[in-house]
Structure 1
Amino acid sequence: MPNEYFMWFMLFWSVFIFVLMSIGGYFMFRKFLKKMPKADGKSILDWQDYYIEQTKSLWDEEGKAFLEELVEPVPSLFRDVARDKIKGKIGELALEDNAELITRDYIIKGYCLATPKRDHKFLVKKLTEKNIDRSAYSQYL
């Protein structure tokens, strides 16, 4: 007859594995939904890649460095995904305005629109640290 401790271990191990599989499935399903084509035939990720590709030449070194500072608190595992999502939104804004260069203004607006509100506190801290007036961005924060 199996030991009582072993039976408890098996129960907790089963629950642990189920929880991990559920979390992984949730994130895989979200990625699947983002890859599904919309009415225009392109998915959210296709549009994001399009905006990044169209505005690749508009980025200068200062803008890239500023974006890297903003995505710094994101865990390294998710940093590339966050950077691409923000870059896609910045590219969308720049293309709408027919911009010739991506400025800090576009970067800040794109960051605000691409990230959840809970992440804006780091942006506010970074803007204060760099002495950038955030009153122009109050509608986005």
Structure 2
Amino acid sequence: MAKLHFSAAACVAALLGLAACNKPAEQAKAPEAPAAAIPAPPPAASTPTTYACDDGASVKASYPDADTAVVELDGKAHTLKIAVSASGARYVGDGLQWWTKGMTDGQLSPLKAGEDIASAPGVNCKAPESATPAG
């Protein structure tokens, strides 16, 4: 009798499994909702931050949008665009590379003709702790 009970249970389970696979055509072919676009994060700091560099220079940097840094050096503004980096945020353009780690540390390097990543070591720059947003 137990053998018969097991066979009936196995048959019911198999039928339920088949019923789950047999969806109406409308349900099986329902279009998936498009993935929601992830908005770009807001810029880390839209007001300028002044960095003191190891060579005595000062660099003023602002970030008008998530893909742009405006770096002012020796009274001249340079607009740089975001570039691939393993860590931090790296911006390049106008013969310069500005690479930041958080909001306090930056490194400004010259780009030689044809370079996408600066080969020169550049100069380290630091923003005062008071310039960083509280978090």
What TM-score results when the alignment is normalised by the length of structure 2? 0.29
Bigger radius of gyration = 2
The structure, 1 or 2, with the larger RCO (C-alpha pairs under 8 Å, 6+ apart) is 1
Higher normalized strand content (fraction of residues)? 2
Higher normalized helix content (fraction of residues)? 1
